[in-house]
């Protein structure tokens, strides 16, 4: 149903629409909190996580509004696909903390900004047309939101970790670690076998599995390759030395044979001269 004349959206400079926020339905006379929303149109930050036509940018989000609370509140405008809360506007950054489910990042208790992604573009338009004098309710009977000491008690209870659950995660981590070490040892042994040389310097070449890509050389494999090249160079130098020595030996032997041949010729000539008949 279209809003009446006294129920209209209020647009402020910057293209933001003002939405009123009330904490509880029972606080009819309490002061209202104001949210500033507009369609997300920063093309430099456009990604699959924040589609330009279905993302609503929200400023001045109170600390007690979690992702689930915002999802419930804005579901009145259309199905909500995702909600992202940040301390300041900026590009979406994937979380790579590497923490387990038992240890989560701590967030500062401060006002934040939100990026609400609707399943359909009509959700963004409906939120922009929502009248200011119809506040959104944070805590309802069906969806109570804890604050103050009740919230702190709940946070403390959630921070306690069951020993059995933690031990299960530790065992899983150690099993994964041991498996990775075994696979690494097998891979290194396989590389060592493939790069192993025999006594004459030949390398045994084995055929890899079909469809398996060649793995890049590790530091150990690179070091073995350098050692192989060094040995080949030394072997080549030694072989060259042996070749040069063999040639010199052959030259000396031939020279010795020639010298002996000349000496034999001279000795034969002397013997022939001695046997020659000389009449007196």
Is 190 in contact with 206 (CB distance < 8 Å)?
no
Q: Are residues 14 and 153 in the same domain?
A: yes
275: left (phi over 0), alpha (psi -120 to 50) or beta: alpha
Domain termination site, one of 133, 157, 181: 157
Asked whether residue 186 is assigned to any structural domain, the reply reads no
Total residues found in the chain within this entry: 280
Whether the pLDDT of residue 67 is over 50: the answer is: yes
Domain termination site, one of 127, 157, 187: 157
> What CA–CA distance (Å, rounded) separates 119 from 124?
10
Whether the pLDDT of residue 168 is over 60: the answer is: yes
Per the DSSP assignment, residues forming a β-bridge with 84 are: 115
Average pLDDT over every residue of 164-178:
88
User: For residue 177, which of 185, 188, 161, 190 has the smallest C-alpha distance?
Assistant: 185
What pLDDT is stored for residue 204 in this prediction?
58
Q: Are residues 146 and 268 in the same domain?
A: no
Would you call 279 exposed, middle or buried from its count of C-beta atoms within 10 A (0-12, 13-18, 19+)?
exposed
Average pLDDT over every residue of 2-12:
65
**Of 6-20, 64-78, 204-218, the least confident:** 204-218
What pLDDT is stored for residue 2 in this prediction?
44
Neighbouring residues of 7: CB distance < 8 A, sequence distance ≥ 6: 131, 133, 134
Average pLDDT over every residue of 201-224:
57
Whether the pLDDT of residue 195 is over 70: the answer is: no
Whether the pLDDT of residue 51 is over 50: the answer is: yes
Q: Are residues 43 and 137 in the same domain?
A: yes
Q: Are residues 16 and 141 in the same domain?
A: yes
Domain termination site, one of 120, 142, 157: 157
Average pLDDT over every residue of 26-33:
78
The answer to whether the pTM exceeds 0.85 is no
Q: Are residues 132 and 19 in the same domain?
A: yes
Number of domains in the chain: 2
> What CA–CA distance (Å, rounded) separates 156 from 222?
53
Give a three-class secondary structure readout of the chain. CCCCCCCCCEEECCCEEEEEEEEECCCCCCCCEEEEEEECCCHHHCECCECCCCEEEEEEECCCCCHHHHHHHHCCCCCEEEEEEECCCCCCCCCCCCCCCCCCCCCCCCCEEEEEEECCCHHHHHHHCCCCCCCEEEECCCCCCCCHHHHHHHHHHHHCCCHHHHHHHHHHHHHHHHHHHHHHHHHHHHHHHHCCECCCCCECCCCCCCCCCCCCCCHHHHHHHHHHHHHHHHHHHHHHHHHHHHHHHHHHHHHHHHHHHHHHHHHHHHHHHHHCCCCC
User: For residue 75, which of 59, 62, 56 has the smallest C-alpha distance?
Assistant: 56
Q: Which domain holds residue 117?
A: 10-92+101-157
What pLDDT is stored for residue 207 in this prediction?
58
Q: Are residues 122 and 31 in the same domain?
A: yes
> What CA–CA distance (Å, rounded) separates 121 from 137?
23
CATH number at 150 reads 3.30.70.330
Q: Are residues 152 and 241 in the same domain?
A: no
Asked whether residue 253 is assigned to any structural domain, the reply reads yes
What pLDDT is stored for residue 179 in this prediction?
92
Asked whether residue 86 is assigned to any structural domain, the reply reads yes
**Of 37-41, 62-66, 74-78, 146-150, the least confident:** 146-150
Q: Are residues 16 and 152 in the same domain?
A: yes
Neighbouring residues of 208: CB distance < 8 A, sequence distance ≥ 6: 214
> What CA–CA distance (Å, rounded) separates 79 from 119?
6
Asked whether residue 197 is assigned to any structural domain, the reply reads no
């Amino acid at each position: 149903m279209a809003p009446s004349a006294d129920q209209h959206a209020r647009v402020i400079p910057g293209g933001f629409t003002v939405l009123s926020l009330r904490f509880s339905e029972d606080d009819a006379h309490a002061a209202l909190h104001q949210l500033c929303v507009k369609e997300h149109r920063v093309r430099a930050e456009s990604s699959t996580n924040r589609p330009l036509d279905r993302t609503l940018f929200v400023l001045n989000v109170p600390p007690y509004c979690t992702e689930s609370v915002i999802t419930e509140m804005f579901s009145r405008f259309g199905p909500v696909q995702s909600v992202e809360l940040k301390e300041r506007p900026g590009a979406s950054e994937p979380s790579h903390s590497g923490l387990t489910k038992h240890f989560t990042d701590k967030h500062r208790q401060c006002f934040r900004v939100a990026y609400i992604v609707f399943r359909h573009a009509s959700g963004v338009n409906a939120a922009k047309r929502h009248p200011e004098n119809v506040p959104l309710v944070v805590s309802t009977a069906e969806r109570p939101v804890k604050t103050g000491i009740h919230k702190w008690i709940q946070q403390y209870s959630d921070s306690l970790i069951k020993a059995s659950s933690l031990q299960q995660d530790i065992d899983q981590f150690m099993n994964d670690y041991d498996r990775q070490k075994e696979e690494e040892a097998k891979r290194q042994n396989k590389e060592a076998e493939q790069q192993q040389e025999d006594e004459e310097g030949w390398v045994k070449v084995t055929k890899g599995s079909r469809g398996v890509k060649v793995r890049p050389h590790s530091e150990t494999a690179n070091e073995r390759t350098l050692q192989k090249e060094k040995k080949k160079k030394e072997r080549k130098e030694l072989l060259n030395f042996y070749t040069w020595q063999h040639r010199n030996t052959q030259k000396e032997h031939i020279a010795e044979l020639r010298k002996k041949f000349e000496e034999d010729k001279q000795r034969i000539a002397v013997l022939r001269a001695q046997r020659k008949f000389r009449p007196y």
